[in-house]
Structure formats: C-alpha cells, structure tokens
A = this chain, B = another copy of it.
Amino acid sequence: MSNPPTIKEIAKRLNISPSTVSRALHDHPSIGLRTKMRVHQLAKELSYEPNQTAIFFQQRKTYTLGVIMPSLSEAFFSSAISGIEDAANKNRYSVLMGQSHDDEQREKQIVETMKNHRVDGIIVSISKNTVNYDHFEMLKKYNIPIVFFDRIPKLPNIHYVACDMEAGTIQLVNHLLKDGHKVIGMINGPEKLYASQQRLDGYIKALGKKPLKFDPSLIATTDLTCEGNFQATQQLLSAKRKVTAIVAFNDYVALDAIKYAREKKIKINQDVTFVSYANLPISSYTDFPPAITVDQFPYLQGQKATEILLELLEKGDKEQEETTYYKIIVESKLIFP
C-alpha cells in the first residue's frame, strides 16, 4: 500500500470500526482506554495523518483566511501581511493571499477564487479603482465574514480596522502650530482616496480652530508619481503666502518633496519643515528625513484585523445574528526620526 494510511486502514487492521478509530484519535470519552491505546499505537506506527481535505469538506471549514491586498510588495501592505500571518499562525490558521494590483476585475476574481476555496473569512484592503462592492456583499450569502483593512468602502454594517488618519493629522498639525508655524501647506494624494480625505479633514479641523483659517491654495494634490510630487511641491513653494511647513501624503512623497526643495536651495526643516506619514525604514538612512512622520503601525493593524476576524468566526458558529460591528481604530503616533 503506497497510499497514505487512513482511518479505515487502521480500523481494518485492528478489527474495529472506523468510527471507533476516529473517536479514539480524538480522545472521545466513550472509548475504552485499551482501544484508545491500541489505536494511538498503530496510528503512530503507520505514521497516520488525517486527510485535511476530507475534514475541510466534511466540516465545511478550512481554517484558512483569505487576504487580499492591492500589492504584496509595498512596504505598508507587506508589514500588514506579516502581522496577519503571525496572528493567524498563532491560532493555527493558514493564509491564502491575493493581490489586486488595484484592478477591480482582478479583485473580483480573487474574491471568487477565495470563496470557491471556502476560506473561513477574508481580510481585504480594497483596490483604489473599485467602485462596485457587489463581490463583497455577495460574501454575506456565503456566510464568509469580511474585515476591511485600511482602505474601507463606504458601506453600512461592515467590520474594519484602520488608522484614524484624521486624528493623526490633527495631532501632526497641532504640533506644527505649537512650534509656531503659521502657514502650513499640504501635499495630498488623489482626492478619491479615503486616505486623502482623512488627511484633508484632519488638516482642516486642526486649522479651523485657529484664526489663520484654512486656505485652499495651500493644498496641492499629487498622483503619487515622482513628477506629480515635484509639481505639487513647486506649487506650494511658489504660493503667495510663504509656507513654513509642508505635510506630505506619505514618506515617499515627502522624500521627493525634500529632494525638490533642496534643489531650490531651501534648507530642509529650517526654512521649511517637512512632515509626513509612514515611518519607512528609509527615513533613518536619508540625510534629510521628514521632521515628523505619523506611524500607522501596519503590522499591528494586521494583527488586530486578524484577531477580529477570528472572533467573528467563533461567534458566527454560536450566535448567527450578531449586530455589533467592529470599527477598530488603531491610534497613530508621531515619530521624530
């Protein structure tokens, strides 16, 4: 017999029924000690291992979590994934991965595949270009819970984990104000990104309280390309009111902005203070890092999202109708490189 040993096999050899073997292996109380021992003994001898696919099939549960991210190689997401994997692994779950490349079709296809694989739950950071959420709504019918991560769709009754970038931005801007900055510019990301909105809202709220109201000409947007970043920087630096600080959308944008500013002979963090978001490892290697960066703790967020998903899975079995939705906000923190 070259095939791996099965419960049936063990049963036959011991002249008992498969059900007894199954129960013996699970230490079921109604199985005699003697039989239990014999079963365990033989199982070890044959180095029996349960066929998980059979169990998945039978139990309608795969102990697998689906994770869908726009990109697997981007630092923020890969940190998150690392946190997810660690948390999942600790709870004996496996992780099935997919990357959407910010393509709605691909995202749909991945969701489909994961549904077919019967993952128990899904963590997803939606694609920038996804405008239709049917593929996520559909999962409800299949009883597959979703935890949205970082990029959150505008849907009612969803679970999510994200960083409150509005609050983070308020903190950040307040810090700048306290340091005496009066004219603070912002290089924001594409308007339709939720992340951009949050930053903008925080920026406005923080400034709104102060006499020097919000000035739209101090907001530039970038498409996140290098050229876009330069252009936005140029726009801010040539504004009528001289900015003394610039809030950049993230560290990459900040570094480009700094690069541009240096070419214009501006003294970084003296003439103009640059602050941003992310806390990439880069910062410690560059000579002119942003003065402050808002860390979003992607690893922690990933962990948190996983824990929530696992909780949902546990609950799902017991109380079918659970109407409280997790809306977890991880606090960001100002880092001074």
**CB closest chain-B residue, reference A118:** B53
How near does chain B come to A108, taking the closest CB pair, in angstroms?
A: 13
Collect the chain B residues with CB atoms within 8 Å of residue A106's CB. Answer: 89
In the assembled complex, the Cα of A53 lies from the Cα of B116 at a distance in Å of 8
In the assembled complex, the Cα of A288 lies from the Cα of B285 at a distance in Å of 10
Q: How many copies of this chain are found per oligomer?
A: 2
A166-200: contact bitstring with B at CB < 8 Å (1 yes, 0 no)? 00000000000000000000000000000000000
Which of B96, B115, B252 meets A95, CB within 8 Å?
B96
- Cβ of A129 within 8 Å of any chain B Cβ, yes or no, is no
How near does chain B come to A300, taking the closest CB pair, in angstroms?
A: 13
In the assembled complex, the Cα of A57 lies from the Cα of B56 at a distance in Å of 9
B97 with A97: CB separation less than 8 A: yes
A85 with B98: CB separation less than 8 A: yes
A78 with B72: CB separation less than 8 A: yes
In the assembled complex, the Cα of A98 lies from the Cα of B84 at a distance in Å of 10
A263-295: contact bitstring with B at CB < 8 Å (1 yes, 0 no)? 000000000000000000110011110000000
Residues of A within 8 A of B (CB): 4, 49-54, 56-57, 60, 62, 64, 71-75, 78-79, 81-82, 85-86, 89, 92, 94-99, 106, 110, 113-118, 142, 252, 255, 259, 281-282, 285-288, 299
